Structure 1
């Protein structure tokens, strides 16, 4: 497949068109996407990304097709990991749920722009200096080690501290209102036009996203050295990330070993880059400036390794004691919240069914092992408040039923200890 100016132009136009569609069709009116809406559009964007790779096969370009799919899967995994940091930043600014998808879409747009700049810089550096692969490879291995170290230490505390620094930096140089005014970026206070937290959180996410490019771009250049493939795989991996967030919301916290899996992938790609650099060596102090006869890792094997690590990471996370504990806790909150949302039109049978689900998951949460109970439940006041609220609503329903003379065979028990 010939990659020329027309190919670049059509691809860029497609990406810009998809972004424009998202802005006008999805986030123009603030709302929280339903599971169905998130699932449909996540499927559409993933299908578009997979279909784009088929174009290479149509032209008989199998090598670029494999490189594209490998890069897409790698960048998709790294972008999902970035959602954790976005969530921390949005929580620090207290972004209302209905406005979160607009913030996420801005972050995605900024990520595409900033990473395109890094892609072009990386391509120019590789073209001028073949030894850049040494730097990319060593950088990825170091990043993998740092990620592993932070995960084995107090990663939550470190991430929270990093976020606080970013928040303080933004607020110091960009004074703004402490209150949201819908999803507006500016508002008027005391007759003066000031920025809202909505603009501040977008700036914070934009600045943070630049840091993400330092592992994202070198990693995909370890898969392919074709800038067009790098751009296409990166852009399509970011498209639909907003919908994917709302689709797997709650599952993100349960991927407890995702950081370990990504560290392993980055280390693997780093080794692949170093081997490639040795194979193309021009540094005089290494083998007298001659290429080193080493075996390079083929792209097909890279694809299998990346997919294999991700599959093992997800299975191990969901099956782990911590993952099971998080599932019990999240479902206890979910079904408790659903019970409190029942309106007056709900029938007694519907209320009993909702109460049974709520009670079942609360009991499972209370049976969580002591270690995870302390870390995940006892320290989560937000979860406890939701469950207490649901229990109070349940007692109120039982009292109302008794007052109305309805026969009830359910005995009200003491509230949960969660």
Structure 2
């Protein structure tokens, strides 16, 4: 189905309107969103995405509707995985919790711009060279393999990349935040704040994410309108989702395996499609190869099934529960020991209460699962220091 310029225009205006609404009604005044606020707005954005999909299904037919939902679910799952990296960047830059919303919204806007560019480039390549499906399939298979590799402790500091080191070296930078300002005055000189640097870090990782997500969705549909809208709606509400599942991300211990399975499946689908459309002279003499092609309906079923198994297995796993609770306790202890960066007076109480709640949950768990968590002794020492600091704070 060909999408008219009018439909394109209305869709783009709606998406820009949602981003503008998010900024003026939620981001402009720095604050820490409550769990209720995050839950309500996350549900609203998911509801809007589903409503849009229903409209596509009714007006565009079953094929377009199925392609949209398959693309949306895949991109949403990849976006949740991206939140892990955002969490690391926020922690490494010690971004004040009340200002994290602005950073996330910038990341969403930048991701939308970057992915739109990749979408247009990908569409142009596909229209001109059918062999690009081989390339996209190979990218996804390599990405799937990388997701299965053990995590490297040296690679956790995503913010300490080349761009950030270069920015610190060339420009005058401050180690302290000045609200959500990009620049501040320090010793009579105008300098960059960490707020600008963290946005550069988020933007850089968004480009890397696009290299994986765009080939993935092109493996499900080559309709540029569906690719764009599924990608855009998957990014909408990502800010609220961050605060909603912050602290629960560590529970999804099998998410990387699920995403690896999905990306590998789509990669195989792309290679099969490339063989079916083959024009390369060294494969079957440049003729099409008669192979089985995976339908969009089967793709949607596999994606939903794999994600369901992954999430359920992560949530019911005793090892996953222990890992999540211990890692959250470490995060809250580290945050409590470093509260000088935030101006919110209620942050100290919130962080310490969260730490105590996590400790109570940990004590109810089987010790064999607790002791298997990486760096457990170091985590216990950090938690003990947080309790000592709290006692000193109360005695003042």
TM interval, short-chain normalised: 0.7 to 0.9
Superposition deviation, residue 335 in structure 1: 11
Contact in 1 for aligned 2:66/2:297 (Cα 8 Å): yes
Equivalent residue number for residue 8 of structure 1: 8
- State how far apart, in whole Å, the 1-side matches of 2:101 and 2:15 are: 18
Q: Which of 216, 230, 235 in structure 2 is aligned with 1:233? A: 230
Superposition deviation, residue 360 in structure 1: 4.0
- State how far apart, in whole Å, the 2-side matches of 1:199 and 1:384 are: 34
- Give the match's secondary structure for 1:285: coil
- State how far apart, in whole Å, the 1-side matches of 2:290 and 2:173 are: 59
Contact in 2 for aligned 1:90/1:201 (Cα 8 Å): yes
Superposition deviation, residue 155 in structure 1: 3.1
Within-5 A mapping of 1:271-290: 271-290=268-287
Within-5 A mapping of 1:226-305: 226-305=223-302
- State how far apart, in whole Å, the 1-side matches of 2:7 and 2:355 are: 57
| CA deviation vs aligned residue, 1:229-248 (integer Å, no higher than 9, x gap) | 00000000000000001001
Superposition deviation, residue 191 in structure 1: 1.7
- State how far apart, in whole Å, the 2-side matches of 1:11 and 1:380 are: 51
Superposition deviation, residue 195 in structure 1: 1.2
Equivalent residue number for residue 23 of structure 2: 23
Deviates more, 1:356-365 or 1:136-145: 356-365
Superposition deviation, residue 197 in structure 1: 0.6
Superposition deviation, residue 387 in structure 1: 4.6
- Give the match's secondary structure for 1:223: coil
Contact in 2 for aligned 1:70/1:302 (Cα 8 Å): yes
- State how far apart, in whole Å, the 2-side matches of 1:389 and 1:144 are: 43
Superposition deviation, residue 44 in structure 1: 0.3
Root-mean-square deviation (Å): 2.9
Superposition deviation, residue 57 in structure 1: 2.4
Alignment CA distance shift 1:131-1:11 (3 Å):
same
Equivalent residue number for residue 343 of structure 2: none
Equivalent residue number for residue 119 of structure 1: 119
Contact in 2 for aligned 1:64/1:229 (Cα 8 Å): yes
Contact in 2 for aligned 1:325/1:368 (Cα 8 Å): no
- State how far apart, in whole Å, the 2-side matches of 1:202 and 1:356 are: 32
Deviates more, 1:362-371 or 1:257-266: 362-371
Superposition deviation, residue 223 in structure 1: 0.3
Equivalent residue number for residue 167 of structure 2: 170
Equivalent residue number for residue 79 of structure 1: 79
The question of 1:141 aligning with 2:141 is answered yes
- Give the match's secondary structure for 1:31: coil
Q: Which of the two has higher C-alpha Rg? A: 1
Contact in 1 for aligned 2:315/2:321 (Cα 8 Å): yes
Contact in 1 for aligned 2:174/2:191 (Cα 8 Å): yes
Superposition deviation, residue 366 in structure 1: 8.4
TM-score by length of 1: 0.84
Contact in 2 for aligned 1:332/1:361 (Cα 8 Å): no
Alignment CA distance shift 1:243-1:129 (3 Å):
same
Within-5 A mapping of 1:18-417: 18-59=18-59, 61-149=61-149, 152=150, 154-160=151-157, 162-166=158-162, 167-329=164-326, 341=349, 360-361=360-361, 363-364=363-364, 367=367, 369=369, 371-373=371-373, 375-376=375-376, 378-379=378-379, 381-388=381-388
5+ unaligned residues in a row in structure 2: which ranges? 337-345
| CA deviation vs aligned residue, 1:119-169 (integer Å, no higher than 9, x gap) | 0000000000011101000111011112212xx2x3343233x54234423
| CA deviation vs aligned residue, 1:235-285 (integer Å, no higher than 9, x gap) | 000000000010011110111111111111111100000000000111111
- State how far apart, in whole Å, the 1-side matches of 2:390 and 2:176 are: 29
Alignment CA distance shift 1:359-1:217 (3 Å):
closer
Superposition deviation, residue 393 in structure 1: 9.0
- Give the match's secondary structure for 1:193: strand
| CA deviation vs aligned residue, 1:63-109 (integer Å, no higher than 9, x gap) | 00000000000000111111111111121111111111110110011
Alignment CA distance shift 1:5-1:258 (3 Å):
same
